[in-house]
Structure 1
C-alpha cells in the first residue's frame, strides 16, 4: 500500500504574506507572571449595547426613528442597563432621538444612556445638550492613540495626542458642570481608540492623564474602555494587555474597566471572554454581532455562553425568536441559520447517529428528573449534541430531528 505523503508537502503560493508582520513584533506584551489563565468567570459583566450607535452606523440603511425606538425598547426589556444611543453632535437624527427619549419619558430610572463625542469643544457642547434631563447619562469621549494614527491620520506626536484627550476631558467636565441640570446623574467614559495597537505604557499614561481631570473616587466612577477597534492579534494577547492595564491603573477601585471587541479575526467572543478573565468589569457589543466590518462582539452569544456554564447572565433571553424578529425588522439584517444559540438550525440534528444519541439523552433525562421528584432544576442538563435546552430560549423540540439524505 502506498501513502499519499501529504503530511510532508508544503505548497508555495503567490500570496504576498511577506508584506504582513506578526503583531508581537511591534506590540509585544511583557507579562511573564500573567494571572488570567488561572482565573474563572463567575458572574456576568455589566452590559452596554451599542446597537444604536456602533451597530446603527454600520447598516446599509441606518434605522429610522421608529426602528430605533423599537430597538431601544427591546434592549430595555432584555435588561441591558447601559445603552449607547448615538453620536448626537454628528447627526441630527441622533440628537433628535436623544431628545425624544427625554420628551417621551422613555428611559427607566436604572438605565444609563451613553453618547459618543470627539474631543472638540463645539461637539461636546451639543452632546451635553442632547442628554440633559435624562435620569442617568454617560458622555463617552474618544481619540485615536495608536502610532499609525498619530503618524498618518492626525500628524500628532505622543504629547499632542495626550493633550487632545486631556483637553477633551476638561471640556466634557466643564460642559457637564455648566449645562447639565440637576435632574441628570452624569458619568464619563474614555476610550483610547485603537488601544490594541497603542504602546501599553503610553495608553496607560493617556488614561491616567484623563483620570486626573475627572478625579474618580467614591460615587464618582470613570469608565476606561479598551477597544480592539480592529482585531489584529490572538485573544491571549488582548488578555495580556487588559491585565497589564488592570494591574497598573491607579484608583482601580473607582474604574469600570471595559472591553469593546470587534471580530476582524473571527475571535471577538474569545477575546472578550479572556478579557473578562483578565479583569474587565464591563462589555460593549451588539445583538448578534452587528457592527462595522465583521461586527462587534455578539452580546446574545456571550450572555448565553455564561448561561450554559450555570452563570446568571443578568439578561432575559428566554424568547430568542422574538429577539431575532425585532432585530431583523429594525436592522434589515439576517441572523444566519448557524449563529450560536440563535440560528434556526442550531438545535437541529440531521445525522442519524446524532438523532439516536439525542433521543437516548432525552430518555435518560426524563428518568433522572422523575427520580428527582420532577424537579428539572435539580438535574444538570446533559443531553448529547445539545449544549443548551432549547426550551430555555423559548424553542420547542419539534425541529431537533430532521431527515435528509445523510440521516
Structure 2
C-alpha cells in the first residue's frame, strides 16, 4: 500500500467517524440527514477498502517491476558478454581463414606433409596439420555456442522487456484506480462534512433563536422590529441617513452614519483601525477574538481594516467627536438610553455578563428599524446586520 494511501484514507474515514451528531431534539429533517450521513460513512468505508486494495496491487506491481529491472540489468550484461565473445570468435575464424588462403589453401597445408625429409619430420607435419584442423573445429564449435548463447540472452532480454512493459501498465492502472477511489472518497467526505456543517449550523441557529427569545422576554417589548437585512447594505445606510435627518440621535449622528456607509465591506482586523482609517492589527491569545484565522495564522497582522470599536472611533472622529479606543471605554462615554428609545446614531453594546460592564466585548452603530452597522469578527467585513438581542446590555448616545 502506498504511503499516501496509508495516510489519507484512514484520515478520511476517521474524520467522518468523529463528526458531531445532532442533538436529541433534532426534528425529522435532521434525523433523515443523520441517516444519510450514516449511509455515506458506509460508502466511504467501502471506497477506502477498494482504494487500499488498489494501493496494494500497486505495491505488488512495483516490487515485481523492481525484480524485473534487476533481471534486465543482469541479462543486458550477459548479452553484452556473449555478443563480444561471438564477435571475437568470428574475427578469429576470419583471420584463420585468411591465413589459410594466403598459405595456399587446404591443399597446400596437406601438401606440406609430402615435403617431410624424414619419418619424424613427416609425423611432425601431420601433427601440425591435425592441430590446425582441430583448432578450426574448436573455433567453429565455440563460435556456434557463442551465437546460441547470444540468441538465448536476446530472447530472455526481450521477454523481460515485455514483462517490464506489462508491469508498468499494471502499475499505472493500479495507481490511477487508487487515485480515483481516494478522490471519490474525499468527495464523499466533503459531502458528509457539508451535511455535518448543516446539522451544526441548524443546531446553532436553534440555540441562538432560543437565546434571542429569552433575551427578548428579559428585555421586554421593543418599539422597533428586527427584520431582514436589505439585499443592498448601502440602501440600509441611506435609509438610516434619511431617518437621521428627521430625528438624529445627536448632532454627530448624520455624519457618523454617512462615514459608516463609506466603509461597508472593509475587512475586520482585530486591533486594527482608528481615527486615521483602516490599518493592520495584532493577535492576542487573551482576547475573545484574538485576530487569528481558522487555520491559526495571525490574520490581523496582515489585514488592514477595523475592529468593532475602532470603526466607531473613525466614524465619530470624522463627525468631530473623539471616542476612546475600546468598547468598554465607549460604554462610559455619553448618555445611556433605554432600548425603547433608540435613534439612528446611537451605540449598542454586548457583554458576556449582563451585570458586568467589564465583560463588554462588542459595539455597533444603530441604524434604526432594528438594524446595525458593525465590524463583526475575524474573517468578516463591515456590514449591516439585524440587532442581536443575545448578550445585548444597553445603548449609549455619544456626545
For the aligned pair, the TM-score class normalised by the smaller chain equals under 0.3
TM-score scaled to structure 1, two decimals?
A: 0.24
**TM-score, normalised relative to structure 2:** 0.24
Compare the two structures and name the one with the higher helix fraction: 2
Q: Which has the larger Rg? A: 2
